[in-house]
Structure 1
Amino acid sequence: MSGSLRGNVGKKDAKAQRAAGKVPCVIYGGKDQVHFSTDEVSFKPILFTPNAHLININVDGKEYLTILQDVQSHPVSDSILHADFLELDPLKPVIISVPIRITGTSPGVLRGGKLVKKFRKLKIKALIQHLPDEVEVSINNLDLNQAVKVGDLKMENVEFLDIRSGVIVSVMSTRNVEPAAPGK
């Protein structure tokens, strides 16, 4: 993503930027705040995806490694009014939400149970080099009335910030459930 520095900062300037098809943005978290503007179309690959992105922003020749922290949209037209980016420091941990990917086949679902997903994303804390693209949750051992909780997940160099007793995915019993085979 690239942008150009904003000369003025204020309501009039932001309104003029939006009228020109630009989005006023700010990068904070570093030594100084950087106010810049960029084209609204450059947000499309970032916003309309479930993935979390590290974003390199080039502002007048200077590179910033950031994550998108907040986006303000117009309530009627859904056009982007403003965006906040957090500058990342390789030596400081960052807190970010990453998507969950369910893998495997649950024996409880095969017997007629219903798979219930409670979380789409998990909030994690890690250094930039340890940030995963997604959190993989295996349901291979999930039988009827069992669940995978946040506290069950283990990833090296990653801290999960959601409540440990929070249920990520579970298999609920339904009326059409086959009884377990004898000896199981």
Structure 2
Amino acid sequence: MHQVELNAAFREKKGKEANKKLKANGTVPAILYGGEKDNISLTINAKELAKVITDGGNAIISMTLTDNMQETVVLKNWQLHPYNGTILHADFYRISLEDSIVAKVPVEIVGVASGQKTGGVLDISLREITIRALPLQVPDKFEINITHLEVGDIIHVKDIQIGEGIEVLSDTEQVVVTLTVPVVEIVASEPAEPEIVKKKKSGK
């Protein structure tokens, strides 16, 4: 996990009207919880939060509150507007660097499979792998090089280089990537209708 800094402010007013004002000011409502402490309602700068999400979301965040209180947190969840994609709300969870956490690490496919050049179709079945590790040992992503794959080859979770100190919680037999044979749809042609030839009547 990479480390980033993020500023936050205490949020006193709640409800739809308060959230509209936050949006107008370029901020997002959020909640901080966990660590056997009280939950805290916060506001976060929308652009700063968007950068954390764009960079992958898996980060150890050093959060500074308005009273200079420091919290070590991770971004646990966020909600996006269904139409315009703006951030509606975010959940932050307190962590300790000495205690293991559960995290979902994204899978990144690297390269072009050899079998794709001969018509193979790449099927990505798994986008994230769930692990347990100390925060500083959680990787930002798992890179999977597929350049050697031929048609029919499969990569399972167990085939990925995970690293020491990391416990895989996902099913290790789960398929991550498959290079399959392209499916060719055969459309049966309809039989041609017989041509009807009318005989001319002979004149009298």
Specify if TM > 0.5.
Answer: yes
Q: 1:51 to 1:169 in 2, by over 3 A?
A: farther
Structure 2 residue 42 is matched with structure 1 residue 36: yes
Count of matched residue positions in the alignment of Structure 1 and Structure 2: 175
Runs (5+) with no aligned partner, structure 1 = 177-184
Runs (5+) with no aligned partner, structure 2 = 1-5, 185-204
How far is 1:52 from its partner? 2.5
Pairs within 5 Å for 1:142-181: 142-155=149-162, 156-174=164-182
How far is 1:2 from its partner? 0.5
How far apart, in 1, do the equivalents of 2:122 and 2:82 lie? 34
How far apart, in 1, do the equivalents of 2:112 and 2:21 lie? 54
How far apart, in 1, do the equivalents of 2:27 and 2:140 lie? 29
Q: 1:51 to 1:13 in 2, by over 3 A?
A: closer
How far apart, in 2, do the equivalents of 1:16 and 1:111 lie? 56
Give 1:83's aligned amino acid. Answer: A
Contact 2:57–2:75, Cα closer than 8 Å, also in 1: no
How far apart, in 2, do the equivalents of 1:51 and 1:170 lie? 27
How far is 1:45 from its partner? 0.8
Q: 1:76 to 1:138 in 2, by over 3 A?
A: closer
Q: Which residue of 1 aligns with 2:140?
A: 133
Give 2:134's aligned amino acid. Answer: L
Which of residues 48, 51, 60 in structure 2 aligns to 1:45? 51
Residue identity (%): 26
How far apart, in 1, do the equivalents of 2:140 and 2:82 lie? 30
Which of residues 90, 93, 112 in structure 2 aligns to 1:83? 90
TM score, norm. by length of structure 1: 0.78
- Structure 2 SS opposite 1:54: strand
CA RMSD, Structure 1 to Structure 2 (Å): 2.7
